[in-house]
Each structure stands twice: as C-alpha cells, then as structure tokens.
A and B are shown apart, each in its own frame.
Chain A
Amino acid sequence: MSTQTALLISVLLFPGGLFALAFGLALKGADRRFAARLQGRVGPPLAQPLFDLVKLGFKRTMVPLTATNDTIFLAVPLVGLAAMLHAAAMIPIAGVTATSPALGNLLVLVYLLAIPGVVLMVAGSVSGSTYGAIGFSREMALMLAYEGPIVLVVAAVALRTGMAEGQVVTFSLAEIVRHQQVHGANLFDPVLWPAFLAFVFFYPANLGIVPFDIPEAETEVLEGPLVEYSGPALGLFKMMSAVKAVVVLGLGLALFFPVAPSGPLGLVVWAVEMLVLMLLGVTAVRVGIGRMRIDQAFAFFLKWPLLAAVASLAVVVVA
C-alpha cells in the first residue's frame, strides 16, 4: 500500500474521517443522555445527534440578504470540517495507531485546533447579523484567552519529553506517546501537573461548552455565529463540532494518559477513556454550573490556566 493511500485512509476512514465523525456523534449523544439523567429526565436516544444531522439534510439552506459574501458564507463550514478531519487523523490511539509524520507534528495540530474558532468568527461576521457580530467578538476574546495556555501546555510536554529523550524538544506526537508507554504516563509526573490543570480548563472552552459557551449562548445571542445558518450548512457545523470533540479529548489523552493495551482491545480501552473524560469533564460540569460572562471568562483564563501553564513550563525547564 502506497503512502498516499495510507494517508487517504487515515484522513477519510480511520482514525480520522468516518470513524472520528461516528465516534464524535456517539460522544455527543452520550453527553446529552447523561446530562438528562443527571437532571432526572429520560433523555434522547444515543443516536440523537445522527438523527439531527439527517434532519438537517432535508431542510432548506437559506442565505441571508445581509450576508456580505454568499460564497464565503457557504464555504466556511467546509473549511472547518476539513481542518478537523485532518486533525482527527493525527490523533494517536495508543497501541493501535501512531501519527504519520507526513500529516504534521504537534505544532500543526495546535494550528488546526484554532481553525474552528476562526471559522466561527468568519461565519458570524459574514452573515451580517447583529447576533453573529456579537458572537464573533466573544469568540475572538475567548480565543485570545485560551490559546496562550494551550500553546504553553503543549510546549511543556514537548520540552519534558524531549529532555528525557536526550534532545532539547520534540514535537512528534508519536514520540511523545512512545516515551510515555515506556516511562509511564505524564499524568503521574508531578512536574506536569500544572500543565494538566491548564488543559482541563482549556478543553471545555475550546469545545464551547458551559461555562465557556459564551460565543454561542442560545439564550443571550441566539447561538451567535450560527444564527443565520440552516439546513445542510448547519449540519456541517454540527459535524465539525463532533469531530472536534474527538480531536481535543484525544489530544488530552495523547499528551497525558496514552495507556492502553495494543490491538482491538486497545481501541475499546481508548474509547472508554474518551467517554469517561467527556462525561466527567464536560457533562457533569455543564449540568452543575451556569454560564460565565465573557469578561469573567477572559479574566479567569488570563489568571489561573495561564499561571498554571507558565508555572509548568518553568518547572520543566528548571527540573
């Protein structure tokens, strides 16, 4: 099998593409059902996000008269989904797949992770809607706040692994996973605990989940950047956010806890770890607390997660 075919399979089928999409939709379904159970309700079926996607396929796509550019309005969700499919193909599943160097390293992944936020910003501003514009400004403020900590977290892990391996720094995801499989997971390394803490705060913000769903707050700004989207175009956004859940949670597992047996059993263990991370880190939190204001979230991120990430980087350099 040639390299191109292998790359195509990894982006379109497994571990990116169809697999990531199906798994992301299942995670979203589990999230909604678990949230309902915590609130004492029955909740939707597990496949509800899939039903929603099929439904959106039957609806009409409307382009608002206020849109400044129809082509950009319809093209941005495609860009976001494509970036997320590429990112999902890069997520290593410990013991099952390793990242192909041809897809890029950790730095590329950090850039790809910023694309959905940029896509939402462009979508909000191009729609010409007031609510879209508010969503745009909120998304931009939130991104400014959480991009710093995640870059520092990635740098801390890369430095720690690189120095342990005898180089200065390594941005290869495959190498970081291999190092942890030999020397134990980073989660049990006290030097990286502040980085882990910063990551725990980063991922609800990146996934746009309460308390950090400020740009898409449906009760305040009518879902912000998505306010003018309907039908298949909205479906693309839903697909993007499903794949993004897999990418962000998978990145967390790869950086801090890539522990799983090899072979098909490893895939099952990985899926269970992802599910636990989703239900404990996202669902329980979003059911338990309310939404922050944008200024509170901004101040919060510039205080605690940034402090933790800087501390982690400093400790790694000194240790």
Chain B
Amino acid sequence: MNILTNLKTIASRSPWLYRINAGSCNGCDVELATTALIPRWDVERLGCQYCGSPRHADIVLITGPLTRHVRDAALRLYEEIPDPKVTVAVGVCPISGGIFRESYATCAPIDQYFPVDVNIPGCPPRPQAILDGVAKAIAIWRERL
C-alpha cells in the first residue's frame, strides 16, 4: 500500500497537457501556447508537456464558448482521452459565454457537457492564473490516480 502511494506521488509529477479549442477567439490559446505554459514560465519543471495526441493526455485545457458547430467533435475528442483525467476550463467563455453569451451559436456554459474540475476566469486569464489553475488540476489528478 505504501509503495503504491509512493508510485502515485511519482506518477503525479508527469501531467501531460492537451488543448481543446472549442471555438475560442485564440486569445486564451496564445496565452497557453506562448506566455503561460511552455516558453516563458516553463511548466515543464512541474513535468508538464504538451502532447499531440488526445490518447496521451492527462490534463485537458478547454478554451472557448463551445460553439454548436464544434460541440460534437469536442465531446468525441474528450471521450478519446483515457482515464484518469482532469478538465480545466480556461478563460471566461467556457464559464458563461463571455462576450459571446448572447449568441445563438454557442453552448456555454460548458459544464452542461463536460465535468469541469477547475475554472480559470479571465479574458484572457493572466499567465499566473493559468499556472495556478494547472497546479490545482495536478493536485486533483493526484487524488484520482
């Protein structure tokens, strides 16, 4: 039992990230890709790595208000991610729809469709907020392993 706990602690130091762009305006994606995560603030020191395939993912970062056009594809993509996984909603759009809230073409809030674990509000969120959200997601993920 003790060895298993130790192994899980080790395993929780390797959370791989996967981004789903659910109709985002790309503001949050730019924050994720350039400032908040890899090059500037370096989440690789927490063991995080962007992976190309959803099958390799542990933590899912969803941006955008979930447009109707992309909803089914995003849901299918989410199913492809093996358990255990943690879902993080980045930006204000997944929470309320943000500036798109009155649009007929969006399905926000996304927690009607995805079991969201961490919300990171902001338009776009500050890099520090995203890092904090990822750290919280890692803590949740450790419990699920």
A-side residues, CB < 8 A to B, are 32, 36, 39, 41-45, 48, 50-52, 54-55, 57-62, 131, 218-219, 221-223, 226-231, 234
B-side residues, CB < 8 A to A, are 7-8, 10-16, 39, 42, 44-45, 47, 49-53, 55-56, 58, 80, 82-84, 145
| Max count, chain A CB within 10 A of own CB: residue among B55, B56, B82 | B55
Which residue of chain A has its CB nearest to the CB of B55? A230
Which of A52, A226, A229 is in CB contact (< 8 Å) with B14? Answer: A52
Q: A44 touching B44 by the CB < 8 A rule?
A: yes
Whole-angstrom distance between the alpha carbons of A105 and B95 in the complex? 63
Min Cβ gap B38→A in Å is 8
The total number of A-B Cβ pairs within 8 Å is: 91
Given the known interface contacts A54-B14, A57-B11, A219-B52, the answer about A44 and B45 at a Cβ–Cβ threshold of 8 Å is: yes
Q: B8 touching A58 by the CB < 8 A rule?
A: yes
Whole-angstrom distance between the alpha carbons of A45 and B42 in the complex? 12
Which of A39, A43, A60, A62 is in CB contact (< 8 Å) with B39? Answer: A39
Whole-angstrom distance between the alpha carbons of A58 and B7 in the complex? 9
Q: In the complex, what residues of A have CB within 8 A of residue B10's CB?
A: 50-51, 54-55
Q: B145 touching A58 by the CB < 8 A rule?
A: yes
Which of A41, A219, A226 is in CB contact (< 8 Å) with B44? Answer: A41
Q: In the complex, what residues of B have CB within 8 A of residue A228's CB?
A: 53, 55
Interface CB pairs A-B, < 8 A, 15: A41-B44, A42-B42, A43-B44, A51-B13, A51-B14, A52-B16, A52-B49, A55-B11, A55-B14, A55-B16, A55-B58, A59-B83, A218-B51, A222-B53, A228-B55
